[in-house]
Amino acid sequence: MTEQVLATGATIRVTGPRNGLVVLCLNGGTARERPGIWSASAEYLVRRLAPTLPDVGWAEVRYRVRSWKQMQMCIDDGAAALETLVAAGAREVVLLGYSMGGAVAGAVAGHPQVHQVIGLAPWLPERLPMPGMRGKHFDVFHGGLDRCLPGIPGVSPASSRAGFERLRRDGTTGTYTPIPGGVHAIAVRAPWGSVVALPRAGSWARHVADAVTAFAHPHGGAPE
């Protein structure tokens, strides 16, 4: 694993190869303007999937500020991470956006090296234009128990489904898959720093692995 400070001041860390196909994980956020952190959900997925998909690189972004009130800063951080990966040799980048990261992914998806976007309980606000998603493939996975509750962030499946259908009408292709029993997050970080998987975490991981594998080897062939 290597870490690098981006031109914006955000940080990226990469596990696995930087050339070929790289999955760029874009974190969620909060209403309060808080310093960026490494996403426990993304870290869980990377730790679980990187050993099983050794030909795929995995990049995680730590925003400068993780808040949808500083959305443009988060988008700029995501765009800087994408450009850094391409400059380092990534031929194709899959954007994996969790929660608010879905909106960040949609905003930077117009890059020519991006053909696939994966949304995990993605926040897809109608007020944020996503013209770069036109012509891209968008796989959405959403926990069936996800809700926005007082003091607990969340995105309702109805909200992400509406955003998904809106993008499909505008020329995006893809699939929408509910995860029964899944909540908003895939994993959380314990006070002592460990990543703790939440119920159905394994199901999230399998869906992501299948989506990435289908994109990397669409005809079921061996890696190049």
**Residues 174, 140 contacting (CB under 8 angstroms):** yes
Measured distance CA(189)–CA(197) in Å, rounded: 9
**Residues 1, 16 contacting (CB under 8 angstroms):** no
221 inside domain: no
178 pLDDT band, cuts 50/70/90, is very high
161 inside domain: yes
In this structure, the dihedral spanned by the alpha carbons of residues 41, 42, 48 and 54, taken in order and rounded to 10 degrees, is 170
* Structural domain span for residue 175: 2-216
Q: Helix, strand, coil proportions of the chain in percent (round to 5)?
A: 30, 30, 40
Average pLDDT over residues 41-63: 97
For position 151, what pLDDT does the model report? 63
Give the chain's domain count. Answer: 1
Measured distance CA(173)–CA(70) in Å, rounded: 29
56 inside domain: yes
pTM given for the model? 0.94
Beta bridge partners of 114: 93
31 inside domain: yes
Q: Domain of 104: which CATH number?
A: 3.40.50.1820
Measured distance CA(145)–CA(151) in Å, rounded: 16
Amino acid letter for position 66: R
> What DSSP state is assigned to residue 65?
B
For position 150, what pLDDT does the model report? 63
CA–chain centroid gap for 195, Å, is 18
In this structure, the dihedral spanned by the alpha carbons of residues 182, 100, 106 and 218, taken in order and rounded to 10 degrees, is -30
Q: pLDDT per residue over 82-99, tens digit each? A: 999 999 999 999 999 999
